[in-house]
Amino acid sequence: MHHAGPPASYVAGVKANRHYRLLYTRAGRRPAGLDPTRIDHIEVVDIASGEVVLFWDLAAPEAARRARRIREDLSVLDVEDFVDRWCAVDA
């Protein structure tokens, strides 16, 4: 897991999804529940710079759960809270 910190353009109180975008790369096309041994890749990238802020390689079902949590948090947390919450989460 990698953590680069809040982006230079960070403004307090602005939702994280204004700065960060989730990228969720599946190693196969079947639903995760049907392909539990597959390893999928999750990244959170800084929209402005394209820099990868957070990333994980996870088994497909766990990746699906984590992507959903991250998507939810991006839409409700501000940047600092989002980074604080997720930078401590290892694979």
Partner 1 sequence: MAEPAAGPAFYFDLFSPEAYLAAERVIGVLPVATEWIPVTAIALPAADSLEGFRCETDREAYLDRIARAAERRGLQPMRWPDRFPFDSLFAMRAATYAKQIGRTVPFALAAFRQAFAGGRDLSVPDNVLIAAAACEMHPNAVLKGAELATIAARLDDATTLAARRGVRDVPAVWVPDGDVFHGDEALERAAASLAS
Residues that bind partner 1 (CB under 8 A): 21-26, 29-34, 61, 63-69, 71
Residue 16 near residue 73, CB atoms below 8 Å: yes
Residue 69 CB-half CA count within 13 A: 11
Residue 61: CB minimum distance to partner 1, A? 7
8 or 20: CB nearest partner 1: 20
Residue 12: CB minimum distance to partner 1, A? 25
20 or 78: CB nearest partner 1: 20
12 or 32: CB nearest partner 1: 32
Angle at 19 between CA 81 and CA 65, to 5 degrees: 65
Residue 1: CB minimum distance to partner 1, A? 18
Rounded alpha-carbon distances, angstroms, from residue 69 to 9, 11, 17, 74: 24, 23, 13, 9
